[in-house]
Structure formats: C-alpha cells, structure tokens
Amino acid sequence: MSEPRIKAPRGTFDVLGEQASVRSSLESRARSILEGAGYERIETPVFEATELFARGVGSSTDIVSKEMFTFEDPGGRSLTLRPEGTAPVCRAYVEHGMHKRRQPVKLWYLSCFFRHERAQAGRYREFWQVGAEALGSDDPALDAESIALLATLLSQMGARELRLRLSSLGSPAGRESYRERLVAYLRAHEQELSAEVRGRIDANPLRAFDADDPGTRRVMQGAPRLLEHLDSSDLDHFAQVRALLDLASVPYEIDDTLVRGLDYYTRTVFEFTSDALGAQSGVGGGGRYDGLIEQLGGARAPGIGWAAGVERILLAGSASPAATPALELFVALQAPGSDARLAAFGLLAEARSAGLTAQMDLGGRSLKGQLSHAAALGARFVAIVSAGATVLKDMQAGAQRELPTDTVVHAVLRAQHAL
C-alpha cells in the first residue's frame, strides 16, 4: 500500500513553469526601474526577533496580534517569520550604521513574507512582495518619487483598473489633539462599534476607519477626519507631495479614510488598488515612517517606502513570461551505447564551457524521439554523436555534415560568427 500523500500547507503554493517565468520578468523590471533610480538590493533573514515586529509594526495591529508565525528556538528565544519588510530593513539600516552613508539610503527587496490570514484567492499565508524603502530624508520629493516608481512598475506589468488613494496621517505630535477628538467621538458611539474596534479605542483609534463591519462603517462616516486637523508643516508636506505627483502625471484620489494596517506610518500614506481584483483588491501600498528607526534603537532618521504583492500584481496584470534563452546546441545519441554516451556528455560539457546553451537527452529516447525533442526546444544545431564521429545538423539552414566530435564546438561557434 502506498503512503498517504503530503500536500503543501494551506495558504501556500508552488511556483511552476510559466508562473516562475512571469515572476522572473517582474523581478527584472523591478530591478531595472529601482536600480535605475538608485535603489540597491537588500535581503534580510526570513526570521527575526519577535520584538522587532512587536515594537516596529505595533502590538495592536492585526499583523502582530493575530497573524504572526512565532516560534521559540531551541535556545528559548522568540522568533517570528517576517510578516513584512519595512521593520527588517530599518533594523538592517541601524545594525550596519547606514546613517553614515550618503542619505537617503535607498533599498529594494523581493522576498517572501508570512501571515496567518484566512486563505483565499489573492490572499496567502506565504506570499511575495517587492518593496522599496528610502531612508534618511524627509524631502516630499522622495515621497513623490517613491510613489511614482511603484506606479511605473505596476503600469509596466500591465496592471489593470488601477486606482491610487493618497492621504496624510500627519506627525504624532500634530495628530495628538485629533486623536483625542476621535477617541471622544468613538466613545460617544461605542455601542454601535464592533467589539474589536471597541477594544482598541485607546490603543489604536484610527484603525476604526479600516473596519469591515457595517455598524462601525456607519459610525465612521460621521467621524472627524485627520486630514482636516493636520498642523501647518504636515499640511505643507502633503501639499508638496501632491504637487510633485501632479508634475509627474501620476493620477491619485485623496482618501481621508485611508489609514493602513501598520502603526509606524506618519505623514504620507498611499495604496494602489485594482478594480480587476475581487475582495483582495490591494495591490501595493506604503507611506512615510519618520519615527520607526528611532523606535528600533537607531538615531532619528525619517523614511518612506512601499511594498506590493507579487501575486496580486500578476493577478491584476498581463505580464508575459520572460523569454528563455535560445538553445544553441542539442546533443543527441545515434544509438544507445556507453562510448557514444561518454563522448556526448563530454561534448555537452565542452559546449557549456565555451558559453553555448546546450542540452542533451537524458530520458533514454530513441534517435527519432531525440530529434523531435530538439525541434520542440527550437535547437539551432543538433549534434548526433556516435562512437566514431558526429553529424552536425544546422536546423536553420537544413544542412548537415560529419566531423570529429572534438571539433563540433568550434564549428558551432564559427557558424554563429558567420551569421
């Protein structure tokens, strides 16, 4: 009796074939857009000290309070599979003394993240994000540049029916009096709020704008809006970001209910959604986090960044798979036999050392099967190796000739030069 099959865990997926290729094309576009704008690649560990997210993302957020994969290592330390990328990047900025480099330091990543969410189409427990963070400057032009770069990436990936929502959360000092006003409003409507929102009125009143429950949504329609209570420097920063986005022709809608689910945001926040996606319409978003690095033990350094879901970009887009390299040489065996097989394997190795793309049949096919496989792969040359010599077929010209096996690579290279 065979053993029961083991399946991939719920909310995870395998990346196969064309999907892998489409992801490669996303990665190369992201690299060219972001590295062209001065972003350097960074990859941080898959797990971090749990404290990083508790302190960085905020214990009252859904991510930290309900969605983290946290475990204890054999040494008794609490570790967490990263649920997001900004806190780890800021940790790395502090840990590597990046404040000593020329500011802003611009970093980008393409990594997997983990959240224990209810799995459904477009929402997974392990998912991928491409992200970009610019640290060490509070210039509003950095906000506008960052948003424009994501807009470019999404448009190059063919993301359909996109909308960009934009708002400002002000700075913590500036929003203190607003916060008191909002808490008072929520207390006055406490009975109509969901238990969850009621439970975090003091810890995180702004998150009430994010609630799905109809009672809370009704209450929030009449709630005071932060955008109407920003102080003058936050208002000025927001006005500059908007003017620069206009200048860069990036369309946006102001949404004064946009708060985002992470506690570290200050001033600019934004989110791209696609109406082509169903319930999970968020494609990517981010904002400014001027206090985060200090909160993680670094010297004060402002920052702005975003993360966009790779699976969501692909669902919303029409990206074509990256082109696979053309096959220059297919090595076939005239007939099964160990001498010819050795010669063929030697030829394959020699061709690859010379920089040619080369494959050989390793599936025990007949010569006819090998030739049709080579044709399906679009091989430019096919070398049919026998114990004594090799027949080299030029598949484009339709010509063939016999030659010593150790001259085949030379002949292919010469023929390519002649093209």
Residues lying near ligand AMP in the complex (CB under 6 A) are found at 84, 115, 117, 123-124, 127, 129, 261, 282-285, 307-309, 311-312
Smallest distance from ligand AMP to CB 145, Å = 19
Question: Is the Cβ of residue 81 or residue 308 nearer to ligand AMP in the bound state?
Answer: 308
Smallest distance from ligand AMP to CB 320, Å = 21
Smallest distance from ligand AMP to CB 402, Å = 57
How would you write the chain as a 3-class SS string? CCCCCCCCCCCCCCCCHHHHHHHHHHHHHHHHHHHHCCCEECCCCCEEEHHHHHHHHHCCCHHHHHCCCEEECCCCCEEEECCCCHHHHHHHHHHCCHHHCCCCEEEEEEEEEECCCCCECCECCEEEEEEEEEECCCCHHHHHHHHHHHHHHHHHCCCCCEEEEEEECCCHHHHHHHHHHHHHHHHHCHHHCCHHHHHCCCCCHHHHHHCCCHHHHHHHHCCCCHHHHCCHHHHHHHHHHHHHHHHCCCCCEECCCCCCCCCCCEEEEEEEEECCCCCCCEEEEEEECCCHHHHCCCCCCCEEEEEEEHHHHHHHCCCCCCCCCCCCEEEEECCCCHHHHHHHHHHHHHHHHCCCCEEECCCCCCHHHHHHHHHHHCCCEEEEECCCCEEEEECCCCEEEEECHHHHHHHHHHHHHHC
Question: Is the Cβ of residue 291 or residue 309 nearer to ligand AMP in the bound state?
Answer: 309
Question: Is the Cβ of residue 48 or residue 361 nearer to ligand AMP in the bound state?
Answer: 48
Measured at CB, which residue is nearest to ligand AMP? 309
Question: Is the Cβ of residue 127 or residue 289 nearer to ligand AMP in the bound state?
Answer: 127
Smallest distance from ligand AMP to CB 85, Å = 8
Smallest distance from ligand AMP to CB 49, Å = 19
Smallest distance from ligand AMP to CB 56, Å = 12
Question: Is the Cβ of residue 117 or residue 394 nearer to ligand AMP in the bound state?
Answer: 117
Question: Is the Cβ of residue 293 or residue 385 nearer to ligand AMP in the bound state?
Answer: 293
Smallest distance from ligand AMP to CB 67, Å = 8
Smallest distance from ligand AMP to CB 115, Å = 5
Question: Is the Cβ of residue 216 or residue 274 nearer to ligand AMP in the bound state?
Answer: 274
Question: Is the Cβ of residue 115 or residue 267 nearer to ligand AMP in the bound state?
Answer: 115
